[in-house]
Homo-oligomer: A and B are copies of this chain.
Amino acid sequence: MTTKEKILNEALILFSEKGYSDVFVGDIATAVGIKAPSLYKHFKGKQEIFDSCVEKFFERMTQIRNELFLPDTPQSDVSYETADTEKITEFAIGLFMFYWKDDIASRFRRMLMIERYRNPELNRIYEDFFVNGAVEYEEKVFAELISAGVIKKEDPHIIALRFYSPIYYLLQKYDMYPDKEEEAKGELISSIREFCQTYKGKDSRNDGIIKNDKEND
């Protein structure tokens, strides 16, 4: 890793813990193992370091969207037709774990939560990736699942909201406790299981799966 990369790496860690203004150029330098003035050979200043972190985040998100959300691997041929409780759960866990643990996404998300109230541009980014944007994306997914008959014919927006909000809540709950992975996953799985019981099938609320699905444990 080059010094420039090290700087960005350490800077993002610090920004995610303290926000922009409480991180001092000297802190970043110390974390990298150099002195503050040396940073200015790599970046024009603190703001440029920050801007590069933003850029790095966008690159990572573009990358993961191609991997996780738009898989063009052979498996994608099975499409929505075969999506079931297990697949929906897998998708939820994948999304949750990425937002929670990915080095870039999780740190940048925390930084955005600190900065979004004072910086409208960062608030927009936060909303696009972690609030409205996330729900809107899932809305499209559920609209397709409804067409495929996998999910009940109800308002896709409300379905997406009820799917995503526990993920969002649990992210906040476990953000400070990266070691509680099993507990977090357990809660998420229970929540998604209930979600699937409510919404799967064309009108399958009284199809008898309500009580028996618990055997999956």
The answer for the CA separation of A170 and B165 in the assembled complex, in Å, is 8
- Selected contact of A117 from candidates B17, B117, B165, CB within 8 Å: B17
Task: Please encode chain A, from 187 to 217, with 1 for each CB lying within 8 Å of some chain B CB and 0 for all others.
Answer: 1001100110110000101100010000000
- Selected contact of A162 from candidates B16, B166, B210, CB within 8 Å: B166
A56 sits at the interface (CB 8 A) = no
**Chain B residues within 8 Å of A16, by CB:** 117
A89 sits at the interface (CB 8 A) = no
The answer for the CA separation of A17 and B197 in the assembled complex, in Å, is 41
Q: Within the complex, what minimum Cβ distance (angstroms) separates A6 from chain B?
A: 22
A3 sits at the interface (CB 8 A) = no
The answer for the CA separation of A187 and B154 in the assembled complex, in Å, is 14
**Chain B residues within 8 Å of A155, by CB:** 190
Q: Is A158 touching B194 in the complex (CB atoms < 8 A)?
A: yes
Other contacts beyond A165-B170, A168-B172, A206-B206: 9, CB < 8 A: A131-B169, A155-B190, A158-B190, A162-B162, A165-B166, A165-B168, A165-B169, A168-B168, A205-B206
Which A residues fall within an 8 A CB radius of B? Answer: 16-19, 21-22, 110, 113-114, 116-118, 123, 127, 131-132, 154-155, 158, 161-162, 164-166, 168-170, 172-173, 176, 187, 190-191, 194-195, 197-198, 203, 205-206, 210
